[in-house]
Structure 1
Amino acid sequence: MQNGSRTALGYNLKNEAFTAMLALAHLPQQLPESARHLPAVLARQIESSRWHDRYRFFPEVRQFAADTDCTAVATAALYERRMLPRTRLRRHARELRRAHAPALPHDQALHPLAVMVYWDDGAEPQAPPRGHKQDAVVCCNVLYTLLLADTDTGRETDSVGRATLDLVHDHLASGRYLSGTRYYPSPYAFLHVASRLCRLSPICAERLGTRLNHACDVADPPRTPLDLALLITAAENLGQTRRQGRCRDGLAAMQLPDGSWPAQPYFRLGRRPVYFGSAHLTTLFALRALHP
């Protein structure tokens, strides 16, 4: 897991904003007095990565283009924390929809009209093209934000939303989720974000719920704390109760003497063997799993 300063990539990997976005997204709404300053601190770091209606992974690296994953997670986290007005949420949602794949893509690996990881539209002249890529976990995060923006308009069934949900469904039904995705190496990362869609949207619950419940039900409880926390939360989102007590006991037993849980890779830089994770991030997911 890369946690150092500079690498052959030429910039400081430690100075990334995506961890702050995830932290704000999964912090409990009710915080103790000693932690009530955290949302504002995280929001400032997130805002430092904003480029117009998009968000970047590395705030200070202009040659690294903004992406839909960061934009979706940041936007939803700020909105659900009441730090972003609904007008801006909808503006970001419109921008996310613009990142859809062509209706007739030349690349057969692309799912037509489903949202891609990068806009790749030349809007950021200092950033080289990243290419047309799709990732099922990223699609879940984007779809979550689109649903938040459109809960009162019915837009969740528009062509981009339907195509993105189709991609998520195909990834689950095919069993490809077991091998992880380009940006998320663990299958439990997919189960977790897909379960959030089911909790948020009846349409997603109807489309994904049966297979997702089965996938969580037959999964062997992971031996690593982050994956176990993600599975527990996924099962919770789906309303499962079987094994939850035993899994939570197992997760609690993994806690270190200082009160944290050990670091584990959560996301990575595409196909590069550069992984991101931290004890803070694992601990956040663990606490969410133990105290839903």
Structure 2
Amino acid sequence: MNTYEAIVYDLGDVLFSWSVQTKSSIPSELVKQILSSEVWQDYERGYFAEDECYKKISEAFDLDALEVKKAIQDVRQSLKVDNANISKEEYVYLRKLPADWNLFEHVFVSGDIGMREPGVCFYEHVLKNIGVRPEKVIFVDEKLENVMSAQSLGMKGIQFQDPESLAQILENLLGDSVRRGEEFLMKNTGKFHSVSDNGVEILENFSQLLILDITHDESLVQLKRPNREWKFFIEEPRETTKTFPNDLDTTSTALRVLPHKDSHINFMLDKMLKYVTAEGLVQTYFDNNRPRFDPIVNINVLHIFHKYSRGQDLSTSMNWVRQILYHRAYLAGTRYYPSPDAILYFFTRLWEVIDDPNLKVKLRYLLTERTIERKGVNGTALCIAMRLSAGHTLGVQNKTDLETLRMMQHRDGGWEAGHLYKFGSSDLDMGNRGLATALAVQVMREGAS
């Protein structure tokens, strides 16, 4: 959890808003120019009184002073509750508005201190008076130049967009992301169905098994358990072909995650060997009339084979996925897995169970190099969480992506679904918020430790 000690808000356009539409003869665009003019900025600093300001503006813009006064008064009266460059007069007016001023320990007014944003001296004055180190301060302003100036002193800067997004950012900066994520998982127990790009809900076993593998909490998931081979779908296939055979990807994951007798597992491994191509690569389905193969499916099947000391049965498959990794052939995704981070995640899980010391050393070097290459690359929350999980397994520190992931948490405590897999026939991507959240919580907990 973070230890920020103060939040500094700009009043204008963050806590309050106003309109430049006035009843005067001065157009709104010209009112904007007036409010950003050097004369107005000096007025905000308290260099001269209100009536003198109107006179100077009328001279600078060739306007009638009474019309200027009317326009400014209209702007002032438009202020509403929705620190700041503001004159003494505007601040006096603001204090009359229905806002809870007791929330603030300090209010800094340009007209009182003779400084204005984005001058660094303004922020130095604020820091000195609140007595908090800059790295412990969050600064919120709608203007990028003000945010940058505050950040130059070491403050955490946030450019204000809207109240909802600001609330999410502050919750992520100040809240306990692990606790919030765990609460999201418990609140939505049994409801973590996958969703396609076009919004169709998919009830399937594969993501449920992955959630169970991460959390070790079977109450969170729904599974349809077969006697032997597992099927991807829990119900009838959706968004793909009507006939969907049992598959080796889901089956190998279930054999690894759920308790089974050794005799049953070895029986299933023997059966899987019947669905290997002539080249020695593992097929996706228990159907030789539907020859499909994918490197991550091979990795997941290799995982269960190596876990039960039978890796030598699929040596060609291992050589192939090593070449995929070495030549970075996964960067555009695979047939069924759109994210390049997925291969790092599943490969490191396989790496953990390999008992051949020579192979393990070679793979660690290659996996570490490829994981480091992915640092800071844009991606969904799931992509970043998979990358971080791989890095944690390999001992790769990645504070940048950890911070990015933390800031992607939604206000309900969960993370976006992202895209775990896709159907080869329709090319539709599928995601699961339960899976993304479970993995994000795990890596956030690991990062905190």
TM-score tier, shorter chain, comes to 0.7 to 0.9
Query: Which amino acid in the other structure matches residue 191 of structure 1?
Result: L
C-alpha distance 254-212 of structure 1, shift in aligned 2 (>3 A):
same
- 2: distance between equivalents of 1:95 and 1:167? 21
Provide structure 1 residue ranges, at least 5 long, that are not aligned to the other structure. Answer: 6-12, 30-37, 103-111, 122-128
Which digits, 9 at most, give the CA deviation of each residue in 1:267-291, with x for residues without a partner?
Answer: 0111422221122121011112122
- 1:232 has 2:388 as partner: yes
- 2: distance between equivalents of 1:269 and 1:283? 22
- 1:250 has 2:404 as partner: yes
Counterpart position of 1:68? 248
Which digits, 9 at most, give the CA deviation of each residue in 1:32-81, with x for residues without a partner?
Answer: xxxxxx41563x6141xx2x421111134482101111111111111xxx
Partner SS for 1:230: helix
C-alpha distance 4-262 of structure 1, shift in aligned 2 (>3 A):
closer
C-alpha distance 65-90 of structure 1, shift in aligned 2 (>3 A):
same
* 8 Å CA contact retained: 1:197, 1:205: no
Correspondence 1:129-208 to 2 at 5 A: 129=289, 131-150=290-309, 155-158=310-313, 161-203=314-356, 204-208=359-363
- 1:116 has 2:116 as partner: no
Flag the structure with larger Rg: 2
- 2: distance between equivalents of 1:145 and 1:268? 23
* 8 Å CA contact retained: 2:231, 2:245: yes
* 8 Å CA contact retained: 1:93, 1:149: no
- 1:217 has 2:372 as partner: yes
Which digits, 9 at most, give the CA deviation of each residue in 1:11-33, with x for residues without a partner?
Answer: xx622222212211222x4xxxx
Partner SS for 1:282: helix
State the identity %.
25
Query: Which amino acid in the other structure matches residue 139 of structure 1?
Result: N
Query: Which amino acid in the other structure matches residue 293 of structure 2?
Result: Q
* 8 Å CA contact retained: 2:417, 2:434: yes
**Residue of structure 2 aligned with 1:277, choices 431, 437, 440:** 431
Query: Which amino acid in the other structure matches residue 232 of structure 1?
Result: L
Counterpart position of 1:259? 413
**Residue of structure 2 aligned with 1:90, choices 263, 266, 269:** 266
Counterpart position of 1:8? none
Per the normalisation by structure 2, the TM-score is: 0.51
* 8 Å CA contact retained: 1:169, 1:207: no
- 1:24 has 2:179 as partner: no
Which digits, 9 at most, give the CA deviation of each residue in 1:213-268, with x for residues without a partner?
Answer: 11111224243211110111111111223xx2332222112111111111211101
C-alpha distance 190-271 of structure 1, shift in aligned 2 (>3 A):
farther
Partner SS for 1:291: helix
- 2: distance between equivalents of 1:259 and 1:192? 23
Which digits, 9 at most, give the CA deviation of each residue in 1:143-167, with x for residues without a partner?
Answer: 11111223xxxx3223xx2111111
- 2: distance between equivalents of 1:278 and 1:53? 25
Counterpart position of 2:68? none
Query: Which amino acid in the other structure matches residue 72 of structure 1?
Result: S
Counterpart position of 1:59? 234
* 8 Å CA contact retained: 1:226, 1:286: yes
- 1: distance between equivalents of 2:224 and 2:369? 36
Partner SS for 1:276: strand
Instruction: Kindly report structure 1 stretches of 4+ aligned residues shifted beyond 3 Å.
Output: 1-5, 59-62
Which digits, 9 at most, give the CA deviation of each residue in 1:187-233, with x for residues without a partner?
Answer: 00001111112222143523422222111112242432111101111
- 1:77 has 2:253 as partner: no
- 1: distance between equivalents of 2:197 and 2:368? 33
- 1:39 has 2:39 as partner: no
* 8 Å CA contact retained: 1:54, 1:95: no
C-alpha distance 40-85 of structure 1, shift in aligned 2 (>3 A):
farther
Counterpart position of 1:10? none
- 2: distance between equivalents of 1:195 and 1:46? 27
* 8 Å CA contact retained: 2:283, 2:294: yes
Counterpart position of 1:15? 203
Partner SS for 1:144: helix
* 8 Å CA contact retained: 1:57, 1:66: yes
Per the normalisation by structure 1, the TM-score is: 0.76
